[in-house]
Amino acid sequence: MGKKKEVEELVKDYWQTASQFNKERMREFLEESTHLSPKSRVQYESALKIYICYINKFCKNKELVDLKAIDLLKYQNWLLRNGLCSSAIKMKRSAISAVNDYIILYYGDEFPLFRNYVTRGVKVPETGKVTVKDPLTDQEYKQLCDYLEDHKEWQKLAYVKFAYSSGARKNECIQLTKDIVNYEPVSKEVTVSDENGNKSIVLIKKYKTNLIKCKGKQQDPMRKLSFDEDAMFYIQRWLNFRGEDDCPFVFITHFGGKPKQVGQSLFNSWCDEFSKIINKKVHPHLFRSSRATNLSISGKSLESIRNLLGHKSSETTRLYIVKDDEDEEDEAFV
């Protein structure tokens, strides 16, 4: 059985006979956790089902309140042996910790000795696999766009232009609606400084999207993302090529002969194609980090990049920016 296969098969084989107490606590936790976004809810449900089935198979089907830190340690090591990376294990730990806290808060009187055993003392195993961030250069971005234009791949080109310009995540891209082409641009004068510190006033023009549900808590407000004239031009070109239909979304697929809103997996498959075009691994989130990095290289402020990406903290934005430190050390030799 291949890596991760045993994890996938576990729920099929052990969910029906798993502890009713555990399944009921999981159900309650998910129903009452209104702070979770729909995507996080799905992830937590999957993680908790796997854990409950693991308990059934390997821990004599104990109830959640009878588990100890050693059980978590063995579970993490089992996940590691089955090919899960550190980040995936961390997410599953978060789900377990959250349901433990739920039990302590609402069932503390019944189980006064129960403690949340998901602590720093139980270390997350390190896989040793490090993904090197390698954002698109301006040249690679241009190469990709030129190829798509030469081959008249208008929808894919509109996606690349919008995802890069706005820094939108793939779940945000799928929410883009056709009526944005009727929106008026936002024009304003801004003061900029050149490399010598000389200031000048320039007129900038940008567009805003429809309201989009971005990453975050369920109660977080929706946002309008900003994008440039270049992205708008190719969105309009794609929609003109597509023609009239009843689907309100910009990015579509066809099912049963009718257009429908794309799923996130389609962007993944497009990026597999893009990887072959520029001979470099491309994934949907790469456009976001590439935009941040290239804006920083061109001298744009961290605050402006943070606002574009919609981060609450500048420290999060820093994680997206990949720069060669060698240039920054040169000043030490002047």
Phi/psi for 249 (5° steps) reads: -95, 150
Phi/psi for 296 (5° steps) reads: -65, -40
Q: Which residues of 53-70 are buried (b: 16+ CB within 10 A; e: fewer)?
A: bbbbeebebbbbbebeee
Residue ranges of the chain whose pLDDT lies below 70: 1-4, 127-132, 194-195, 323-334
How far is CA 174 from its chain centroid? 13
pLDDT in the model for residue 130: 55
Token pair 């049963």: residue: 256
pLDDT in the model for residue 331: 42
pLDDT in the model for residue 228: 94
Decide: helix, strand or coil at residue 259. strand
Decide: helix, strand or coil at residue 52. helix
Cβ distance 270 to 298 under 8 Å?
Answer: no
DSSP 262-279: PPHHHHHHHHHHHHHHHT
pLDDT in the model for residue 201: 86
pLDDT in the model for residue 329: 45
| Length of the chain as a residue count | 334
Decide: helix, strand or coil at residue 84. coil
- Cβ-Cβ contacts under 8 Å for 51 (sequence gap 6 or more): 75, 92, 95, 96
Q: How many other CB atoms are found less than 10 A from the CB of residue 254?
A: 10
Distance CA 247, CA 260 (A): 6
Decide: helix, strand or coil at residue 56. helix
**What sign results for the dihedral spanned by CA atoms 162, 167, 168, 170?**
positive
| The pair of three-digit structure tokens given for residue 133, joined into one six-digit string | 């961030």
User: In which element (H, E) is residue 22 found?
Assistant: helix 20-32
**Could you tell me the pTM of the whole model?**
0.68
pLDDT in the model for residue 4: 59
